[in-house]
Structure formats: C-alpha cells, structure tokens
Amino acid sequence: AQSVTQLDSQVPVFEEAPVELRCNYSSSVSVYLFWYVQYPNQGLQLLLKYLSGSTLVESINGFEAEFNKSQTSFHLRKPSVHISDTAEYFCAVSRSGGGADGLTFGKGTHLIIQP
Amino acid sequence: ETGVTQSPTHLIKTRGQQVTLRCSSQSGHNTVSWYQQALGQGPQFIFQYYREEENGRGNFPPRFSGLQFPNYSSELNVNALELDDSALYLCASSPGGASPYGYTFGSGTRLTVV
C-alpha cells in the first residue's frame, strides 16, 4: 500500500514570490508520482508527473517538481507565483508497472496568493 | 477531445435512499475510476473499471457499486446512503489500464445526504 503526506495544509505567499509545496510518500513498491491542481468547484487537472528518467519534471505553466528517491519526496516549486495560481494542490502516487488500485492522494495544500 | 463529463452536478438525497451518478469518459478511454472527496480531504479511490469489468477496488463497502458500458459511459451506485457519504464524487478516465497515462478528471457530482 502507498501513502502520501502533504506537510502543509495552507501556504500563503505574496504574488511574484517563489513557493514550494512539500510532498512525501511511502511505498513498498516502485511508484509513479503526480501533482494535480483543483480550482474552486472544479475537478482535478494534471499538473505534472514523474514516471522514470530525469528526476526534474516541468509543467507548461512554470511549475516544476523533483523526485528524490532517498528522501521519498516529490516537492512542487514555482519561482514566481501569480494570483491565478490560487488553488488546491494534490500530490498523488500510483503503483508503477501498471495496476488497478488507482491513485493515492495526499490531503492537499491550499496555495493562497496575496497581492 | 470531449473531456470527462459528470451528471448531475449537485444532488440532495435522504439517508437510506439509493443514488446513481453518471460519467461520460473521454473518447477512446477504456479505463474509468471513481473517487470520493470529502470536504477538506484528498480524493479516495473507490474502484476502477477496465473494458466493462471491475479490476480494482479501494476500501469501500459493497453498497458502492458501478457499471461501465461499451460506449465508455459509466455509473456509480450507492445504496443505503449514510450521512458520511456526503462528498464530491469524481470520475476519471484513462486511455489504458496502466497508470502512466495519467487520468482525466471530470468536475464531479456534489452529493449531500440529509
């Protein structure tokens, strides 16, 4: 079984400042890692994912995340945030190599951008 | 791409009743999974269907059941509703049974049990 811990339930940050949202996971098997974003009253949108290869993955809107196997972490970062980044961010894992046990999510981090 | 659509968007039911939630998967996606997201929590995996067969299930009782149809639409049925079933129910589809493709989520159905 897998578990995901998002260490911060809320992260307030000023506009144009950098931000890091922390995610740690636990698993006895190899996993794929994901970050999803949820805007108010909407479903989840895939932000980025790590499957294998380069440990640094990037999204099209400036976010990046780095897989650290030794620390079992997959922290999300953005060098300069915008008001439109205000949302709930979820880290998730799934068993690699195929599986039917779905995604295991963390409890989410609410990113609050202050003008 | 048509995306994933769910209906209805909101629903109010009485404890003990039964409910059916519907999902239309993205075109070409033969895998659909359902999640329950309680207020302030992350989504929890209910079950997954692949080519009309349930092939994975989370820690939910049998009163949560589902169907997947040949046209890639699907249903989530919940019997004997309890107050704790109040949540946002999310449907997600994928082009393959394996997880690396990622999942496309719908906007969800907000179920309130009174």
**Best residue in A101, A104, A109 for a mutation probing chain B (most B CBs within 10 Å):** A101
What number of CA atoms fall less than 13 Å from residue A23's CA on the CB side? 29
C-alpha to C-alpha distances, B43 to A44, A90, B13, B87, nearest whole angstrom: 10, 9, 21, 10
Q: Which two tokens stand for residue A1?
A: 């079984």
pLDDT computed for residue B12 by the predictor: 98
Examine the pLDDT at B2 and tell me if it is beyond 70.
no
List, for residues B16-75, the tens digit of each pLDDT value: 999 999 999 988 888 999 999 999 899 999 999 988 999 899 999 999 999 999 888 999
Q: For position B97, what pLDDT does the model report?
A: 61
Instruction: Judge: A43–B90 Cβ closer than 8 Å, yes or no.
Output: yes
State the nearest Cα–Cα gap between B18 and chain A, in angstroms.
Answer: 24
Q: Which residues contact B15 (CB under 8 A, 6 or more apart)?
A: B81, B82, B83, B113, B114
Q: Which of A8, A57, A90, A103 to mutate to test the interface with B (most CBs of B within 10 A)?
A: A103
| Residue in the block written with tokens 């294998």 | A52
Least Cα distance to B48 among A29, A1, A103 occurs for A103
Q: Tell me which of B29, B99, B104, B109 to substitute to probe the interface with A (most A C-beta atoms closer than 10 Å).
A: B99
Q: What is the pLDDT of residues A31-62, one digit of tens each?
A: 899 999 999 888 899 999 998 888 888 888 89
Query: Hey, is the C-beta of A108 within 8 angstroms of any chain B C-beta?
Result: yes
Q: Report the percentage of chain A scoring pLDDT > 70.
A: 98
Tens-digit pLDDT profile for residues A58-87: 888 899 999 999 999 999 999 999 999 999
Which of A4, A34, A100 has the CB atom closest to B97's CB atom?
A100
- Per-residue pLDDT at A52: 83
State the average pLDDT for chain A. Answer: 92
Task: Give the pLDDT confidence score for residue B98 in this predicted structure.
Answer: 56
**Nearest CA distance, A104 vs chain B (angstrom):** 7
Supply angle C-alpha B47, A5, B45, rounded to 5. Answer: 5
pLDDT of A98 > 70? The answer is: no
Question: Which distant-in-sequence residues (6+ apart) come within 8 Å of A17 by Cβ?
Answer: A80, A81
What is the pLDDT confidence band of residue A102, given thresholds at 50, 70 and 90?
confident
Residue A9 has pLDDT above 70, yes or no: yes
Asked if the Cβ–Cβ distance from A46 to B55 is below 8 Å, we say: no
